[in-house]
Amino acid sequence: MNKIAKAALAKVNQARRACGWPELTVMPSGFQQSAAQCPIARALTPPGGWTAVCQEYIDFDDPQMAQAVADAWGGTVIFPLDLHSDGASVRPLPPELVAFIKAFDRGEISSEEKTNGAV
């Protein structure tokens, strides 16, 4: 697993622990340039819920989950996401996750690494 993916996995697992979830040994597979289907979103989306990841923040449909993740990462929670949502946004996204998103979207974390379970 490359250095960027390893650092991102550590931050994802920090958030998962804060939510009472088990840690992952690898990042899930995902799609480039997809806020809801990137590896980070897939790792932090609860069953039946949604999570969207951007380079500056992460949105959750569950405000309690957003608060737990913000506390773990030392971030701020913005309530509500919009007038029609009970969700919440965590800002800023940790730099380790920003670096992962940029590298993943640029293809620097190759599909070969992904299929070998590195991310």
- Enumerate the domain spans of the chain: 3-112
CA-wise closest residue to 21 among 29, 12, 30: 12
3-state secondary structure at position 71: helix
Per-residue pLDDT at 117 exceeds 60:
no
Contacts of 115 (CB under 8 A, 6+ apart): 29
Mean pLDDT over the full length of the chain: 87
What's the pTM value of the predicted model, to 2 decimals? 0.86
Looking at residue 83, its pLDDT comes to: 57
Looking at residue 103, its pLDDT comes to: 94
Whether 32 and 54 have beta carbons less than 8 Å apart is answered as no
Per-residue pLDDT at 115 exceeds 70:
no
In this predicted structure, which of 4-8, 47-51, 102-106, 108-112 has the lowest mean pLDDT?
108-112
| Predicted confidence (pLDDT) per residue in 49-92, tens digit | 999 998 889 999 998 999 999 999 999 998 876 655 678 889 99
